Structure 1
Amino acid sequence: MAPRNQTGQRSAALRRVLIPLALAQFICSFAGSNMNVMINDISEDLNTSVQGVQVAITIFLLVMAALMIPGGKLTDKYGRKRCFTAGLIVYGIGALVSAAAPGLGVLILGNSILEGIGTALLIPPVYILTTLLFTELTSRARAFGAISAMGGIGAAAGPLIGGLITSAISWRAAFVFQALIIATIVWLARDITDPLPADRTRPFDTGGAVLSAVGLVLVVTGILAADDNAWVMLALLVAGALVLVWFFYSVRAKERAGTEPLLSTALFRSRTSNLGLVTQNAQWLLLTGVSFVVAAYLQVVRGYDAIETGVIFTAETAGLLAASLAAERFAKRRAQRTLILAGFLVVIGGITVLVALVSGTPNVWAFAPGLLLIGLGLGVMLTPSVNVVQSAFTENLQGEISGLSRSVSNLGSSLGAAIAGTILVAGITTTPERSYALAMIVLAAVGVIGLGAAAFLPRLASPSDDEAPSPPPTPQLPPPVR
């Protein structure tokens, strides 16, 4: 009886730990999408334009993507719990600064910079702690399912919640809401203990962190410049690619010299993990891209306010929630590869419906079937993609793979807002229907790329299908404290 009691107590303790971790993913995903329904309100209040708000949204997502890898690496040096708490505090300060912003510049400082930095510090520990604390594959899959579901719901429900708050009070109150949720998470996370001790002697590759961040910033900035000057766009893209090549060259050079780089090349030796990262990038690109395009189109072209726009997105939220609730049952019956393939097929079908039913009809509910399908497809495949990647590596690589995985996902989010948003904004005042359709077609093409990557996953894609790469010559960490 005693072992059973101990097991029950441990399960209850793990469930309590999971609540703040899942809430943290929820609020960060919420922050990436709730501003989409505030475009008109923020533009009028801060005397800026749709492009200005798009830049603020994209910079937030870009800061997350650029700093997520360094953020994951810092958890080894300073501890996962400490980085998690520090990220929450920075995020909360950024939310309050945004709420009081007198202009676009301060909004970018609070929302795009501070909240982006906070997210980059707090999100890697969420996935590392989950991997280390939930040691059984079944419980770990269930935990990742809960966290991924909360992330997807945060992104999908962001427009509705943001719209309700904006219409009832103001767009500034939406940032106060974020600060209150952050304070709640800090309180709920007070009993979380770090399974691994921090290692202050662990080196940190500052040069690699700078190179990776600069390369990602240049690439996404180049995409944003597409509607201004094609030559500037090309120059930025080439410069970004060269910097990223320089970064990977420096990684290999440091490993050959026996020093620890920002990322280990061992992370890229797992075929299953590499393909899983591609699917993650495509999933978040689709989620953010569809959210921005539909929200901007409804507000700028159709003239809907924040609450009306948010209500339309309940279809996507309902689909994602329904699929997430069934995720565990799906995982028991179908291979992870099958779920990811099915998810992309349903999302592509949803985008097709969005283009077919919306074009030429004034009925706003024509958006609902397509958004519902997109929510269902994303809900089916978010969890298996995360589990495939995160579980493919040993404990001493969790900081690096968590940072890389979240960076790839957030890069997808920033690319979604940048690519689809740029296409839409470029012609939204002259040829809105054509720009909307073109942006959606580009998103469908991304879905096809994700589908192709999923097709090459092992037929029974699971952590056991791919041997975990051997770790690089770095200091060995002790086993987790049970």
Structure 2
Amino acid sequence: MSTTSNRVVVAGWTLVPLALAQFICSFAGSNMNVMLNDMSKDLGTTVAGIQLSITLFLLTMAALMVPFGKLTDLLGRKTCLLLGLGVYGVGAVISALSPGLGLLILGNSILEGAGTALLIPPVYILVTLYWKDLQGRARSFGLVSAAGGIGAATGPLIGGWICSAISWRAAFVFQAIIIVVIILFAVALKDPLPADPSRPYDTIGAVLSGGGLVVFVAGILAIDTAPILGFVLLVVGAALIAAFFAWIRRLERHGREPLLATSLFRNRLSNLGLVTQNFQWLLLMGISFLVSSHLQVVRNYNAIETGVIFTAATLGILVSSLAAGRLVKHIAQRTLIVAGFLITAVGTLALLLVGAVPGAWPFAPGLLIIGLGIGVMLTPSVNIVQSAFDEDRQGEISGLSRSISNLGSSFGTAIVATVLGFGIGQRADGYVLAMVVLVVVAIGGSIVSGFLPGRAKVAGTATVTNG
């Protein structure tokens, strides 16, 4: 890895494995939404069981992203990327071969979730280290974010097509094939920073943070069917998270290195950016989960019919994400994020209004608007957070950033599933109420992002070459 003084020069293929990695992980989070009926029948379980597997996949990512993000400093970014790809690939194969819900949860929810938590932080760290100027970094994050948004939006379309043409199992084989392609590219990447296996690792902090997130989201899921248990889990989860913060403060007072430095949470710019990321993925995954479930369970559309409708969201995300890298040259990142949330709110309101309209195509305009809104704000939100810290903090902030984003995805599916009560057909107002919640989140996101500064500086001035 060499350096230059003014601009970043990277090989043309550098972004290919990074963007593909984000694509396949986001794809995995949404493609099962259109295969609920097929998978539940084949595996001898219920739609609720498949929905639970989806939520556990997202939750595993959120719980492990911070602990695994810290491993990038010890093992190296490239090593974690390749290790994560391997774990993910094994999980995809197990999922494809699973005879029942138990092995599906092992392969998809646990192994694919853990693999994603290992490989995603290196993706964002490497982008930050390879590109140092605002425009170059924004353009690169734009491509990676676009790949993630497209993966989430095309998940229902590609998954639905594969499920209808072949089998839902082939969708996991597709993931395994993509993983092999990524590995072939990733082995040629170079790590800008050396690994430091001598650095201490905060195991207690990892257990407290991961356990707290898991228990808290489990509480959200349990509220509908077991209110008392759900409340208890929420309280216990919050207590574990509070204990985590108390623990890392204790380590710092004794001069030891915690899983996360408390200084990360004293950066106002980063904190606001993290909230916007959480809201963005809550909206994207919540809307995908809600509309997919509604079309299949209530309106009895099959996987491919449901997936086709999401083409509108895919198109919107593709157009706006790719344009975001250019827009940031002329428009403040705060303005782009605020506008994105407002556009998304309009699209979500459109979906609310067509809830009782016959047919599936009336959902397309709202999904298109939502895709445009989410796509335009994904890039600046990521860029603001990653650029708020120097190179030596990238492992921590990348893990925290992706954990917050995936926690948003978990919240989106958990909240929608709770509102629907896993019984959409029996609660006609479930769709409307869940969509109202998402409209409120979109409006809240626009208010929070309004407090961001107009312009954000990029941390660091050095540049690197990947050759």
- Please classify the TM superposition score into its range, dividing by the shorter chain length: over 0.9
Equivalent AA in structure 2 for residue 438 of structure 1 = L
CA distance in 2, matches of 1:325, 1:134: 17
1:282 aligns to 2:276 (yes or no): no
CA distance in 1, matches of 2:8, 2:289: 42
Matches within 5 A, 1:245-284: 245-284=242-281
Higher relative contact order (CA 8 A, sep 6+): 2
**Ranges of 4+ aligned residues in structure 1 off by more than 6 Å:** 478-482
Tell me what 2:315 maps to.
318
1:457 aligns to 2:455 (yes or no): no
Q: Paired residue for 2:403, among 395, 403, 407?
A: 407
Residues 75-105 of structure 1: CA distance to partner in whole angstroms, max 9, x if unpaired? Answer: 0001000010000000000000000000000
1:269 Cα deviation after fit = 1.4
Tell me what 1:419 maps to.
415
Residues 26-65 of structure 1: CA distance to partner in whole angstroms, max 9, x if unpaired? Answer: 0000000000000000011011111101110000000000
Matches within 5 A, 1:151-190: 151-190=148-187
CA distance in 2, matches of 1:360, 1:220: 30
Q: Paired residue for 1:382, among 378, 384, 409?
A: 378
CA distance in 2, matches of 1:479, 1:159: 39
Count of matched residue pairs: 462
Q: Paired residue for 2:367, among 365, 371, 392?
A: 371
CA distance in 1, matches of 2:36, 2:426: 19
1:131 Cα deviation after fit = 0.7
TM-score norm. by structure 1 comes to 0.93
CA distance in 1, matches of 2:464, 2:391: 9
Unaligned 5+ runs, structure 2 = none
CA distance in 2, matches of 1:12, 1:256: 41
1:339 Cα deviation after fit = 0.2
Residues 1:354 and 1:479: Cα distance change in structure 2 (over 3 Å): closer
Q: Secondary structure at the match of 1:429?
A: helix
TM-score norm. by structure 2 comes to 0.96
Residues 1:480 and 1:314: Cα distance change in structure 2 (over 3 Å): closer
Contact 1:165/1:171 (8 A) holds in 2: yes
CA distance in 2, matches of 1:370, 1:45: 32
Percent of paired sites with the same residue = 62
1:445 aligns to 2:443 (yes or no): no
Instruction: Give the CA RMSD over aligned residues.
Output: 1.8
CA distance in 2, matches of 1:426, 1:19: 38
CA distance in 1, matches of 2:27, 2:9: 28
Contact 1:51/1:425 (8 A) holds in 2: no
Tell me what 2:431 maps to.
436
Residues 372-399 of structure 1: CA distance to partner in whole angstroms, max 9, x if unpaired? Answer: 0100000100000000000000111000
Q: Paired residue for 2:31, among 31, 34, 37?
A: 34
Decide which moves more: 368-377 or 446-455.
446-455
Contact 1:423/1:435 (8 A) holds in 2: yes
Q: Paired residue for 1:193, among 190, 193, 197?
A: 190
Tell me what 2:329 maps to.
332
1:431 Cα deviation after fit = 2.3
CA distance in 1, matches of 2:229, 2:403: 25
1:480 Cα deviation after fit = 7.0
